[in-house]
A and B are shown apart, each in its own frame.
Chain A
């Protein structure tokens, strides 16, 4: 069979770049190695300076909100993995927490501790990945290789827990499916003991590096007003002078029992964001040390439950399903028809590695959510590029996109 001719015209014919005012329109993306995904930027240039930036997104729009309206609640959990695929468990957790708030479930303490461990491991993984890719974009290949090495250790731990490297689905509505494996704590402790030295290695390579400082300092400055107005959250907000961390201000799980501080800066430039990310990894390590003690306390107090007890919404433990008739019936109904939460709506925000991850669920008492809105932090962190890029030069675009830490599964959903 002969090959089919395509109808696509050369792309430069679609935009008029040859204009009277000597303005050049540069098309950046949607498949650009340093765009961290499928970001397309239309940049209006005067010489090398950007006068207007127009981010174009939607190249990874997969219709997750529509999928949610056609799925039972438990079925949607694996789909949340693919939102912020750098830190899947944090998305699982955000969704699980929203449904738990909707139906009013109380999660057992041991499950809470395990969830916190997973969340903080995911945060370190995400920040390491951020560091690796941003450093690679700016040209620091060594940091890329170093950070990926450490990330693989964490992936091994997670893989031992749930079997997947990237798309975990490690958190269920009402708890966690499994207890942590035997080697988990030992591996985690080994990693945490080495982490400060690793972070110091990265900082030795970057903090006083002339190129790194030139690309980072005084570049991409976001004022406090702009960051609030654009709905920035997470490290983007904290680097611009607002010390707002949902783990601290509206504590969920056991975050009110652990000691940690919220790093923030009032500089607002790329370098401030870099410092906030590095400091947050240290704080996460601090939390992880405390969760290990909390886990041992759970073991000591014989708190073995991992899933909430709510027969209307959550299947019974496997042992009960296999031995007791009523549990088996409940399980069958929950798997085939799904749980039916009460009528009402809920908006729950959690602090994901990127910022505030919110799930708005409107339930009409059926097994499918009537409306589910995913509030992903990266969506607005991409939008801020409209106001942030004008005035900067082309090389700054790469470092600014790098430090905003956007993930396109989350932006486009």
Chain B
């Protein structure tokens, strides 16, 4: 019987996990332990609903509702001095709870603090674009769309950014295999030569451990370069490694080891 493999997460799995292994947690601190973060959280809580907040590895993490994302980021930018949106992207939790988690990584240069705003959206739901607040979100949201298929409402140019426009599938979804689906495997052949050429060009060789029995014929060892197709028997005489023909080449001096100088110190 063929072993069952889950289809909703095709990423690499550890082949052995201790049955009684309980993974430890990265310690979380209460927000009250830091004055600046506590004040910021109060300001956010005054206007928006916050479902969870804590400090992890020196950065505050705040969970908000997806509909509030524009408002919270506006508040952070205009009133709380978080002037830069350093990074934003999504995490795929579709296999577990059919949700995406989206994080916005904010930086305040005056306070020297970093805050991560996080929220959950349902599969297929769109987020509000924050491109009007931070221009950097322009490309981040396009990348998020490209990689996860999450659209941003109100974005001026919602197109793929890293993959070609005619690409199928969203690569960073957990359902997308690392080495691509059939469309990805034949993309360049189909585009350049057409589907008819698939048989002539052949499938991609993706197994790094594969050994071709012709390898020793087609690839010569260094210093024993032979034309393609030559049968290598292994008892060829050792030839001195030189690139010029025996008789020399017209008007070109042959390298003379005796008359050359080797520089030991390159910084002489």
Contact = CB atoms under 8 A, between A and B. Distances in A.
Interface size band for A:
35 or more
B200 interface: yes
Nearest to A380: B136
Contacts of B261: none
B89 A63 contact: no
Interface size band for B:
35 or more
A340 B178 contact: no
Nearest to B59: A347
Contact of B193 (A4, A190, A340): A4
A44 to B, nearest CB: 14
B194 interface: yes
B158 interface: no
A194 B267 contact: yes
Interface in B79-129: 83-87, 89, 91-92, 103, 105, 109, 112, 114, 116
Interface stretch (A110-118, A225-233, A264-272): A225-233
Nearest to A366: B14
Given A360-B87, A383-B135, A383-B138, A344 B25 contact: yes
A71 B11 CA distance: 10
A412 interface: yes
A70 B14 contact: no
Contacts of A345: 26, 56, 61
Interface string A1-39: 100111110000000000000000000000000000000
Interface in B1-50: 11-12, 14-17, 21, 23-26, 28
A75 B16 CA distance: 18
B57 interface: yes
A65 B192 CA distance: 27
A358 B89 CA distance: 13
A66 B139 contact: no
Interface string B169-200: 00110001010000000000001111001001
Given A61-B163, A102-B26, A345-B26, A373 B135 contact: no
B229 interface: no
A349 B86 contact: yes
Contacts of B192: 6-8
B84 A231 contact: yes
Nearest to A250: B112
Contact of A231 (B134, B161, B267): B134
Given A102-B57, A152-B266, A379-B139, A347 B26 contact: no
Interface in A362-413: 362-368, 370-371, 373, 375, 379-380, 383-384, 386-387, 412
B45 to A, nearest CB: 22
Given A342-B26, A343-B23, A383-B138, A231 B178 contact: no
A373 B57 CA distance: 17
B7 to A, nearest CB: 16
Contacts, number: 145
B164 interface: yes
Contact of B87 (A104, A344, A373): A373
A342 B59 CA distance: 17
A58 interface: yes
A230 to B, nearest CB: 5
Contacts of A360: 87, 89, 103, 105
Contacts of A6: 192-193
Given A102-B57, A231-B84, A63 B171 contact: yes
B239 interface: no
Contacts of A364: 23
Given A6-B193, A58-B163, A344 B26 contact: yes
Contacts of A342: 23-26
Given A58-B164, A375-B87, A7 B16 contact: no
B211 interface: no
Contacts of A204: none
Given A231-B85, A337-B14, A368-B11, 14 more contacts: A4-B193, A7-B192, A65-B172, A71-B12, A187-B267, A231-B86, A342-B23, A346-B26, A362-B91, A368-B14, A373-B89, A375-B87, A379-B139, A380-B139
18 contacts: A7-B194, A57-B161, A58-B162, A66-B171, A70-B11, A194-B267, A226-B135, A342-B26, A344-B26, A347-B59, A347-B87, A349-B86, A366-B23, A367-B14, A375-B87, A375-B105, A383-B135, A383-B139
Interface of A: 1, 4-8, 57-58, 61, 63, 65-67, 69-71, 101-102, 104, 152-153, 156, 187, 190-191, 194, 226, 228-231, 242, 244, 249-250, 337-338, 340-349, 356, 358, 360, 362-368, 370-371, 373, 375, 379-380, 383-384, 386-387, 412
Pairs A-B, 6 closest by C-beta atoms: A365-B23, A344-B26, A231-B136, A58-B162, A70-B12, A342-B24
